[in-house]
Amino acid sequence: MSLLEVRNLNVSSGALSLVGDVNFEVDAGERVGLIGESGSGKSLTALAIMGLLGEGLSASGEVRFDNEDLLAASERRRCELRGSRIAMIFQEPMSALNPTRRIGDQVGETLRIHQNFSRRASEKAAIELLARVEFAEPERYARMYPHELSGGQRQRAMIASAISCDPEVILADEPTTALDVTVQRRVLDLLDRLVDEEGCALLLIAHDLAVVSEVCDRVVTMYGGHVVESGSVAQIIDEPHHPYTKALLATSRALSVTESASGADLPSIPGTVPSAGQFPRGCPFRDRCDRSVEACVEMPPTLTEDTRTLACWNPVERVERVSDGAR
């Protein structure tokens, strides 16, 4: 049994299905990367796991955490778990942090709520946490407000808050996307180190397969609100079976600092991700897919083989995979 098991998760807005039949699990201490373009349903999946879906959105299916179904749990029970055993790091720290409260106050808040720390004790703990996320003068930064920090510092403060109660799993939604490249490197390395030290599990949401391949053990690819493929990082990088994963990988590979310009166009995926409700019937990727066949008008079943899953009628052939791997 895994620490976090997502079973047939559906998220809908009225009659409109936004996330459909999502299945994956995260083992204790494991790091799973959830990838896909904007509009693939990654963030909604994370919010459903956290129980933070906005007004008008509803989730069904199961989200089992330590064998307890969170979707069936009371709001009171969810509050107990949120922040203490399951923590989340958001993409935009500026909108996730309260602009009117000092950093130390916000980083220590989780401890006051979940572990009954006094104000003084939580402030002391916040300073230690800020030191752990590499603030050189934690006392000084604890007294500052979010707007006085840089983007990278705010994200590190968010990480400090997330690890404060020693969670068993951290959900990180594009935690470095809005950051400069050297700052992104620092935050990724910090997250990597802390997750290691804490021994907690990580669900990292990213659109860049490169980021996921550096930090994670396993990859789950989402498109159109569905999981289309999953497997270990090595499996997915060496042999993507789903045309969508393969296309994402080709772009990430071509757009790399180690790849000089070939003069040819960069590989890209034709068209754009449709808005919710506009995906084609059957396989959601079929109208952008270069391997689509007649069968794709029906939704492909998800097949499981050892540690991999795949939902595709016409997966990437072995021959192509080998020739692609040679580059």
Asked if 248 is part of the footprint of other proteins (rule: CB under 8 A), the reply reads yes
Name the residue nearer to other proteins (CB basis): 273 or 311: 273
For position 18 contacting other proteins by CB under 8 A, the verdict is: no
For other proteins, the binding residue among 57, 183, 276, 299 (CB under 8 A) is 183
Neighbours of 314 (CB within 10 A): 17
User: Which of 48-56, 136-144, 258-266, 310-318 is the region at the interface with other proteins (rule: CB under 8 A)?
Assistant: 258-266
Q: Does 166 bind other proteins (CB under 8 A)?
A: no
Phi-psi region of 178 (alpha: psi -120 to 50; beta: other; left: phi over 0): alpha
Give the three-state DSSP class for 6.
Answer: strand
What are the tokens at 101? 């409260």
Binding status of residue 211 toward other proteins by CB under 8 A: yes
- Nearest alpha carbon to residue 46 among 12, 72, 66, 19: 19
Please tell me the distance from the alpha carbon of residue 210 to that of residue 177, in angstroms, as a whole number. Answer: 12
> What are the C-alpha distances in Å from 93 to residues 40, 175, 312?
22, 9, 37
Based on CB atoms, which residue is closest to other proteins, 89 or 125?
89
Instruction: Confirm or reject binding of residue 10 to other proteins (CB under 8 A).
Output: no
Check residue 273 for interaction with other proteins (CB under 8 A): yes
Q: Which CB sits closer to other proteins, 116 or 260?
A: 260
- Residue 63 vs 204, nearer CB to other proteins: 204
Tell me: does residue 247 bind other proteins (CB under 8 A): yes
According to CB under 8 A, which residues from 125 to 164 bind other proteins?
150-151
User: What's the alpha-carbon Rg for the chain, to the nearest Å?
Assistant: 21
Asked if 187 interacts with other proteins (CB under 8 A), we say: no
CB 159 within 8 A of CB 188: no
| Shortest separation between residue 213's beta carbon and other proteins, angstroms | 5
CA dist 237 and 232 (Å) reads 8
- Any contact of residue 188 with other proteins (CB under 8 A)? yes
Q: What residues contact 290, with CB distance under 8 A and at least 6 apart?
A: 243
Q: Which helix (H) or strand (E) holds 21?
A: strand 16-26
Nearer to other proteins, 116 or 136 (CB): 136
**Smallest distance, other proteins to C-beta of residue 217, A:** 6
What is the sign, positive or negative, of the torsion defined by CA atoms of 216, 220, 224, 228?
positive
H or E stretch covering 243: helix 243-254
**Site of interaction with other proteins (CB under 8 A):** 29, 31, 37-39, 150-151, 180-185, 188-189, 192-193, 196, 199, 207-211, 213-217, 233-234, 237-238, 247-249, 251-261, 265-269, 272-273
